[in-house]
Amino acid sequence: MTIVPLRGAPTPALLSRIAAGQVGGILLLGSWTTPQATASTVATLQATACRALGSPLLVGVDQEGGTVRRLTWAAPTESAAAMATASVARAQGAAAGAALRRVGIGIDFAPVADTISTPASFLGTRSFGSDPGHVSLLASAFVDGLQSARVAATAKHFPGLGSAVASTDDRPVTIARSAAFLDEWLAPFRAAVAAGARLVMVSNASYPALDPSGAPAVFSRAIVTGLLRGQLGFDGVVISDALDAGAVARTPHAQARALAAGVDLLLYGGTGASEAGYASLVRDAAASPAVRANLAAAVARVNTLKSWLGLRCG
């Protein structure tokens, strides 16, 4: 289930990939300056998918607020750090959800549920703060507001990037914290799951205290299936962070490894990488019954999400 990027009007090549069943969803990147253009683009994408496949696409956007706000005309108007209270976070989430829903977008890749634990954190104002209890309160309120408009929230970046001083988009990152520390900083993810968040995005960093193999979380069955699905009880859709990011881009069979860990959606920030990733997954699925079984489980969870979103053709 591949999520591919789109930065403007869909090209014939992208529409052909959609019609061929090679695309499970769209990530809107860049800057989308008007609701009319956004709605028109989403309608074109969905018409192509429905006409060829009889099944609509998932369409999502990074609409956190502050510096990460792809829809310049839509809420959140505040960064996470500026949302000082739960009522503000809930209102900002609800306003964002209403705006996204009006133009056909079903997923917001927000909120950031990471708690900052170092002044050098690369997240800056993208996080709600440095106290896990405060972040828990605001993250769950944002989830509640967003999903009140029937737009799915995504708690990210599990199990937490608040200790990272560099982004996994650029290079491998290891979170060298104890299991006890990491467990305390899981509180906002527990709160988001309890609030009903429909998606969780898994980090590309490594957490040796949680998985001694040193595998990035996105490839770690101990973290995705054992911790997130098992201990936290999350039964929704798990999405990777970008699989073409510097931390993981050179991993062989990355798509099959992520599915084996318990991931459902495979996210890409680059078109070429998404094409190569899809081709790799097709080869691995043809050769392995286990990969095909993992794909079937992922499709079932994605279909449950589509049902909750009310996505249907016709």
pLDDT per position as a tens digit, 60-89: 999 999 999 999 999 999 999 999 999 999
How far does CA 178 lie from the centroid of its chain? 25
87-116 per-position pLDDT tens digit? 999 999 999 999 999 999 999 999 999 999
190-222 per-position pLDDT tens digit? 999 999 999 999 999 999 999 999 999 999 999
218-245 per-position pLDDT tens digit? 999 999 999 999 999 999 999 999 999 9
Q: Is residue 314 predicted with pLDDT exceeding 90?
A: no
Report the residue count for the chain: 314
Q: What is the mean pLDDT of residues 40-56?
A: 97
* CA-angle at 87, arms to 108 and 73, nearest 5°: 45
What 183-186 contacts at long range (C-beta under 8 Å, 24+ apart), as own/partner pairs, is 184/132, 185/115, 185/117, 185/132, 185/159, 185/160, 186/159, 186/160, 186/232
Residue 1 confidence class, pLDDT cut points 50, 70, 90? confident
Q: Is residue 253 predicted with pLDDT exceeding 90?
A: yes
**Cβ neighbours, 10 Å, residue 98:** 17
Q: What is the percent of the chain where pLDDT is above 70?
A: 100
Q: Is residue 16 predicted with pLDDT exceeding 90?
A: yes
Is the four-CA dihedral 232, 115, 168, 174 of positive or negative sign? negative
CATH of 2-309, one of 3.20.20.300, 3.40.950.10, 3.30.1330.30, 3.90.1150.10: 3.20.20.300
Domain boundaries, the chain: 2-309
For the whole model, what pTM was predicted? 0.97
